Structure 1
Amino acid sequence: PSSVTVSGEGDVKVAGLDVREVPSTGWVPPSLAPLADEVEKAHAQVEVLSSRAASIAQGVKHLEAAVPEGLKEVELAAYVDAALKKREALELKASETKGLLEKAQKEYEALKAEYEGRFPGRPDRVVLVTFSTEGKGEVLLTARTDSARWRPLYRLELNSSTGEIRGVYGVEVNQKSGIDWDGEVVFHTVRPRGGVRIPDMPPLIADIHDPDKNKKAFELAMRAAAPALDGAAGEYLEEGLTDVAIRTSAAVNGSGEDVTIDAGTFTEESEVSLVCIPEYSPEAWTVATVKSLGRALLPGEARLSVDGKDTGRTRLEALSMGQEAVLPFGTTPLVTAEREEMIPTTGTSWIVKGKHQRGYIITVSNGLDKAVKVRVKDRVPVPANEAIKIQDVTLSPAPAERDEKGFLTWEIALDKGKSSQVSVKYTVTYPSDKELIFR
């Protein structure tokens, strides 16, 4: 209630604003009206069956208590026989009614629980806003709710022949305010918050390390210095100095159901490549590289497809306009790269203290019905200190790229149904009194 404000636009003046929490008095959120009707009907059915059960029970009691006097033996026998039949019929009705009543009560309780669970806030309380106005124009009512959330949700379709990526910029939204949204909706990446301030920088102090003494002080200092970050997971995408917003038109009910909205579409041109990383998987990855994005992308889930076929989902990281984007679109099982060791890695002849030899062949195969270019990625170790030496590195053929971190890349062209091989050999020497690890 404290967040509610009412303002007039144009010549309208607002006076007498009163905001209070009151009993609901039968108010039903518009989107819950059908469910409320079901709850009411279920409750009425329980009442009908309860009345029927009570009436049958009363009838049974009358049969037990009412025995006419002055009947002859034959008449009494006939009366008892008729009473027994009537009693049996009533008991049967009582049993049937009991079963129907139990079922109706369960259905009513389930519907009532669903209704109360989807009702915003407390089912028995609502916020009542009253005010008066003077003049003509529009009135704007604003209020804050903690019962609304949203996240970006993309759909990306790759044309493997042209490299064109068709994207749908979507939003998954859920709001439980009790008021249906129908019209323009703006989704912001930054939410208003109190206590906005520039963090204070404490003095930098050099001290002797004492684990027990310094650990807690360090953690407290870092928490105090670190600013809080707002997470959100934006034509329709508006970028400002402190916020990115998605503006669209949508209908979102106020009962807490997830709604997916297509806020806009976009296209990007990419270079499509097949990338193999045999150390992790024999299957090639279909990768689309956009050299310079035409728009900003917010972090969020993306549903992927290639040439009209679904290939999976991925998580996009935040990217700015003009930045390069590397997007994996799933694996290509018919293009593979498999490693086979040339130097045995078991047995006593392989274990030599102070020396580690490695050699393997990577076989790259194209099982597609067309020629492809495959980018094969691998690595050789790099020493972490001067005592370790990497020697006798033999790479055949020579990689197209090799960097100081030991990463290797080969560009291999393969006709349909063809294979090619890459061999890698190296030796690592290290002090024999030490243990070698790879990390």
Structure 2
Amino acid sequence: MKCFFSVLFASVAFLLVLPVQAPGSAPGAPRILRTDIYPGSAKITFSVPFEQGLSFELPGTFDAESIRPLPSDGQSVHSFEALEFPRPGWIPLSLREADKTIREKERALAVLEGKTAAVKQSIQILSGPLPKDLKGEDIPAYVEATRSVREKLESDLITLTESMDKMKKEIEALQEDFAVKMPRNSDLGVSVKARVTGKGELLVEAWTSYADWTPFYRMDLDSDSGTISASLISKARQHTGVPLDGDLYFHTVMPSREVSMPKLRPLVADFERKAVKGYEALEEAAIMMERPAFRMASAPEAPAPVIIETMTDMTTHAQGLLEGNNTWSEFGLGEFSMKAESAIVSIPLFSDEAWITAEAKEIPQPILPGTAELSTDGQLSAKVHLSEQGAGTDLSLAFGKLPLVKAKREKIISKTGSTWTGKGRLEDGYTIEIVNGTKKKITVLLKDRIPLSAQEKISVETISIEPEVEEQDKENILTWKFALEPGEKKNVKVLYRLGYPADETIRMR
């Protein structure tokens, strides 16, 4: 009887420490009014009914120091406290079925282990010496009966062992999944108590660091029309153990806890340290690290996503359920399209395969920082990272490579006996063959370059460029524009000459 009351008391105590419930739960329980999710954290606003006082509990995944009341007009908070307390054995509601399954399988495994032990013991008995009172003429029949029974026991043992091994693997897999989904600090809870007077319900704000989200785009380029169709998605997860249901607001920037102005230091003019022989490679590496990385960004009619822009943040909104077991969920934030100018660009210096690109001017929608899954004419082609951009800016994006549009670049080698090079002079060049391996007519922008002088004493002379370029910019980047029929080839030939002091050595960088 004493044991019965102990179990009953433990069960009642377990029910008393259940977490705050989701909207639509028992009357008088706190309900989630709003969830604001930031990169790496979340702020949850609860609406709590009260009659002078209130009391509820949260899992230890919430920061007790961050929990505070937000009284409305006409409400007075006379006392408020949020304290951590030990709560061993707590399991979130969403994981109790999984915990029950694990316990049932563990009991089934124990039964199998008991049967296995009994079979092994029986086999051991049958392996013992013959009974002393066994008569000689009965020995053959006894041995045959023993052999038959032992064969069945051995067969039963194999079946039981296989069942046990399978059951152990199932339990291990379930336990691993349970451990991943079980919130950290599950052995702690936060008790929230307050004395309040006034009307209505009290709003309570609580922060947790066990939440995260990232913007995700899916974009498809129609290579014929240049239209980019896109959808904006929020990929979010949280590990508080409490399901967050209702209005979800996704923010791109975490509010600053400390803000300090940077100090403007003086601009000092000094002589550049002269390069020491043998350190040129290190200096070049340092220069390359300081240069900004080249990155082609992205872009995206249906209901467009509503993005609220402020001076410090961009926010989107969705409604739905975000479970508290650390699994990723997707929320559609809207769809949109934009007209872009697509192009096929070949840069054989980097790759023999061409790229398909798209550029949109003065985009109507801001772009959130995140990843984008790109496709061309419905076929997956690339995955890129997008930087944050505001509406009205220009957007360019590489949608992937075109393996059927290839260019072959070869260096022109000097002939023996010619005056190709000499002291203070260097002649160089290359040829390019580009071919359209697709089944439709395309326009290709072919890009290459000739040297750009970094010193007054270095001269760059163009000997010949065949055919003429569409554009040659101030950095000597050359662009040809070719219309290619299916299977058609075009050839390019470039020759140039460098002049420089005879006592110097030219280095290309």
- Residue 310 (structure 1) aligns with: 380
Say if 1:74 and 1:165 are closer, same or farther in 2 by CA, change over 3 A. Answer: same
Shift of 1:62: 9.7
Residues 331-351 of structure 1: CA deviation (Å, up to 9, x unaligned): 23333333344x315868555
Shift of 1:53: 5.3
Rounded Cα–Cα distance in structure 1 between residues aligned with 2:344 and 2:423: 40
Say if 1:279 and 1:136 are closer, same or farther in 2 by CA, change over 3 A. Answer: same
Unaligned runs of 5+ in 2: 1-63, 275-303
- The one-letter amino acid of 1:194's match is R
- Match for 2:96 among 21, 33, 38? 33
Say if 1:354 and 1:72 are closer, same or farther in 2 by CA, change over 3 A. Answer: closer
- Residue 163 (structure 1) aligns with: 226
- Do residues 182 (structure 1) and 252 (structure 2) align? no
- Match for 1:344 among 404, 413, 424? 413
What aligned pairs does 1:244-263 form with structure 2 within 5 A after superposition? 244-263=314-333
Shift of 1:92: 6.9
Say if 1:436 and 1:400 are closer, same or farther in 2 by CA, change over 3 A. Answer: same
- Match for 2:461 among 391, 412, 423? 391
Rounded Cα–Cα distance in structure 1 between residues aligned with 2:220 and 2:255: 35
- Residue 272 (structure 1) aligns with: 342
Shift of 1:59: 7.7
Say if 1:140 and 1:41 are closer, same or farther in 2 by CA, change over 3 A. Answer: farther
Indicate if the aligned counterparts of 1:8 and 1:137 stay in contact, CA closer than 8 A.
Answer: no
Indicate if the aligned counterparts of 2:232 and 2:305 stay in contact, CA closer than 8 A.
Answer: no
Please give the secondary structure, in 2, of the residue aligned with 1:143: strand
Shift of 1:285: 1.8
Shift of 1:295: 1.8
- Residue 504 (structure 2) aligns with: 434
Say if 1:274 and 1:122 are closer, same or farther in 2 by CA, change over 3 A. Answer: same
- Residue 366 (structure 2) aligns with: 296
Say if 1:19 and 1:102 are closer, same or farther in 2 by CA, change over 3 A. Answer: farther
Shift of 1:164: 1.4
- Do residues 108 (structure 1) and 171 (structure 2) align? yes
Indicate if the aligned counterparts of 1:10 and 1:136 stay in contact, CA closer than 8 A.
Answer: no
- The one-letter amino acid of 2:484's match is L
Bigger drift between 36-45 and 53-62 goes to: 53-62
- Residue 5 (structure 1) aligns with: 68
Indicate if the aligned counterparts of 1:371 and 1:415 stay in contact, CA closer than 8 A.
Answer: yes
Residues 392-418 of structure 1: CA deviation (Å, up to 9, x unaligned): 342233322222211122223334443
- Residue 195 (structure 1) aligns with: 258
Shift of 1:270: 0.8
- Do residues 361 (structure 1) and 424 (structure 2) align? no
What aligned pairs does 1:121-140 form with structure 2 within 5 A after superposition? 121-131=184-194, 134-140=197-203
Indicate if the aligned counterparts of 2:463 and 2:497 stay in contact, CA closer than 8 A.
Answer: yes
Indicate if the aligned counterparts of 1:11 and 1:137 stay in contact, CA closer than 8 A.
Answer: no
Bigger drift between 77-86 and 279-288 goes to: 77-86
What aligned pairs does 1:55-134 form with structure 2 within 5 A after superposition? 88=150, 97=160, 100-101=163-164, 103-131=166-194, 134=197
- Residue 404 (structure 1) aligns with: 474
Say if 1:83 and 1:352 are closer, same or farther in 2 by CA, change over 3 A. Answer: same
Shift of 1:121: 1.0
Please give the secondary structure, in 2, of the residue aligned with 1:2: helix
Bigger drift between 261-270 and 396-405 goes to: 396-405
- The one-letter amino acid of 2:204's match is L
Shift of 1:377: 1.4
Residues 174-228 of structure 1: CA deviation (Å, up to 9, x unaligned): 22121222222111121134222212345667789999xxxxxxxxxxxxxxxxx
Rounded Cα–Cα distance in structure 2 between residues aligned with 1:436 and 1:100: 75
Indicate if the aligned counterparts of 1:394 and 1:425 stay in contact, CA closer than 8 A.
Answer: yes
- Do residues 413 (structure 1) and 483 (structure 2) align? yes
Say if 1:247 and 1:72 are closer, same or farther in 2 by CA, change over 3 A. Answer: closer
Please give the secondary structure, in 2, of the residue aligned with 1:37: helix
Say if 1:290 and 1:54 are closer, same or farther in 2 by CA, change over 3 A. Answer: same
Shift of 1:380: 0.9
Indicate if the aligned counterparts of 1:10 and 1:138 stay in contact, CA closer than 8 A.
Answer: no
Indicate if the aligned counterparts of 2:305 and 2:316 stay in contact, CA closer than 8 A.
Answer: no
Shift of 1:90: 6.9
- Residue 279 (structure 2) aligns with: none
Residues 237-267 of structure 1: CA deviation (Å, up to 9, x unaligned): 1110111112222322111112222211111
Rounded Cα–Cα distance in structure 1 between residues aligned with 2:126 and 2:396: 85
Normalized against structure 2, the TM-score is what? 0.69
- The one-letter amino acid of 1:296's match is P
Shift of 1:64: 11
- Do residues 319 (structure 1) and 386 (structure 2) align? no
Shift of 1:108: 2.9
Rounded Cα–Cα distance in structure 2 between residues aligned with 1:404 and 1:204: 29
Rounded Cα–Cα distance in structure 2 between residues aligned with 1:428 and 1:50: 85
What aligned pairs does 1:136-151 form with structure 2 within 5 A after superposition? 136-151=199-214
Please give the secondary structure, in 1, of the residue aligned with 2:66: coil
Please give the secondary structure, in 1, of the residue aligned with 2:104: helix
Indicate if the aligned counterparts of 2:405 and 2:438 stay in contact, CA closer than 8 A.
Answer: yes
Residues 82-123 of structure 1: CA deviation (Å, up to 9, x unaligned): 996899477876676566445544543442233123211134
Shift of 1:13: 5.2
Normalized against structure 1, the TM-score is what? 0.79
- The one-letter amino acid of 2:205's match is T
Say if 1:235 and 1:263 are closer, same or farther in 2 by CA, change over 3 A. Answer: closer
Rounded Cα–Cα distance in structure 2 between residues aligned with 1:13 and 1:409: 72
Rounded Cα–Cα distance in structure 2 between residues aligned with 1:77 and 1:120: 65
Rounded Cα–Cα distance in structure 2 between residues aligned with 1:209 and 1:424: 36
Indicate if the aligned counterparts of 1:10 and 1:137 stay in contact, CA closer than 8 A.
Answer: no
Please give the secondary structure, in 1, of the residue aligned with 2:204: strand
